[in-house]
Structures are given as structure tokens and as C-alpha cells.
């Protein structure tokens, strides 16, 4: 990929996984972000072009933020923390978890996120997470586009409010 950057076919690159970046270290498909970045550094030097990771991030799959599973010399960090430290942008996919988060969100979550519907609250959760550069939302029908844009027109949930989701029961 560094060669492709060198010849002008791309500017940056990244990796996308469903499980590997949010898996526990003991799991077979686990990938440590620090090791991937070290490979990029080996191939492209300190000015390598590995700049993006994508993984599911939503109310049902918050491991990218909440699970300290990426180890460097200073200990374990969450994917979001490790990526920030390495200058890598995190893209959260599956914000609605294939439609499963369009209903049934607990009331305390809705109260903190402050949107009108469960769908909006699920999108607001993903887009407001500290360290998430972009929350990707898949849409099958055109009327979903307008509905799913509503949270984007509102301010993100403040960081201190969003963090309450990890302290509430």
C-alpha cells in the first residue's frame, strides 16, 4: 500500500474489520493496532500513510471505546485511545446494528442522548463518541436518509454527558 501511495494511486489507507479490532487478545481473530502501525512504519517509515481503521461501533458494540485490548509498552488501551495516540482516525460502522437499535433503547440512554426516537439516539451515540471521526449508517430506503440526517443537524452529545452512559446502570 505504501508503494501505491508512492506512485500516486492513493493518498492514505486503512483497515476495516468486524471483529479483529474489538476482540479480546486471546481470541483467534484479534489484531493489535500497535502491531499494524508498526508494520506500516516498517514499510513506509515514520511518515507512513496508514491513517484509518473501521470497526462496528454502536450501543450494542461499544468495545472500540470501552475495551482496553490494544497493548503497547505502556500497557493496554482501547482502540479509540490507541488510534488517537497513533494519529489514526476511527470510523465507526453499523451505527444502527443492522436495524436492531431502531427500537428498545433503555430510557436512561435516551434521556442522556436527548433525541426524539431510538433510531436518532443510536446514531447520536455513535456520532458523539469521543475519538470516533465518523459514524457510518447504512440505509436501504430513501425515506431513511432524511430520518437519519436529523441527528446530524443537532449538536453532538457533550463528552461528559456521553461518558455517563458508561457509569449509569
Residues 11-70: pLDDT tens digits? 999 999 999 999 999 999 999 999 999 999 999 999 999 999 999 999 999 999 999 999
In angstroms, rounded to a whole number, what is the distance separating the alpha carbons of residues 149 and 86?
31
Least confident of 27-31, 75-79, 144-148: 144-148
Cβ contact 109:161 at 8 Å: no
How much is the pLDDT for 144? 84
Mean pLDDT of the chain: 95
How much is the pLDDT for 168? 59
Tell me the mean pLDDT in the region 87-113. 96
Tell me the mean pLDDT in the region 75-92. 98
Helix (H, G, I), strand (E, B) or coil at 148: helix
**For residue 139, what pLDDT band results from cuts at 50, 70 and 90?**
confident
How much is the pLDDT for 140? 81
**pLDDT at position 169 over 60:** no
Cβ contact 136:92 at 8 Å: yes
**pLDDT at position 3 over 60:** yes
Strand partners, 89: 52
How much is the pLDDT for 146? 84
pTM for the structure as a whole: 0.93
Amino acid at each position: 500500500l505504501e508503494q501505491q501511495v508512492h506512485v500516486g494511486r492513493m493518498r492514505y489507507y486503512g483497515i476495516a474489520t468486524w471483529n479483529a479490532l474489538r476482540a479480546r487478545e486471546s481470541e483467534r481473530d484479534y489484531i493489535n493496532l500497535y502491531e499494524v502501525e508498526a508494520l506500516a512504519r516498517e514499510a513506509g517509515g515514520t511518515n507512513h500513510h496508514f491513517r484509518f481503521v473501521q470497526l462496528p461501533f454502536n450501543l450494542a458494540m461499544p468495545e472500540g471505546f470501552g475495551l482496553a485490548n490494544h497493548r503497547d509498552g505502556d500497557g493496554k488501551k482501547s482502540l479509540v485511545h490507541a488510534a488517537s495516540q497513533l494519529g489514526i482516525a476511527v470510523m465507526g460502522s453499523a451505527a444502527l446494528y443492522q436495524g436492531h437499535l431502531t427500537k428498545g433503547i433503555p430510557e436512561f440512554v435516551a434521556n442522556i442522548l436527548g433525541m426524539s426516537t431510538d433510531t436518532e439516539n443510536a446514531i447520536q451515540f455513535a456520532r458523539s463518541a469521543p475519538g470516533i471521526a465518523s459514524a457510518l449508517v447504512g440505509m436501504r430506503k430513501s425515506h431513511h436518509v432524511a430520518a437519519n440526517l436529523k441527528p446530524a443537524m443537532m449538536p453532538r452529545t457533550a463528552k461528559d454527558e456521553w461518558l455517563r452512559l458508561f457509569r449509569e446502570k
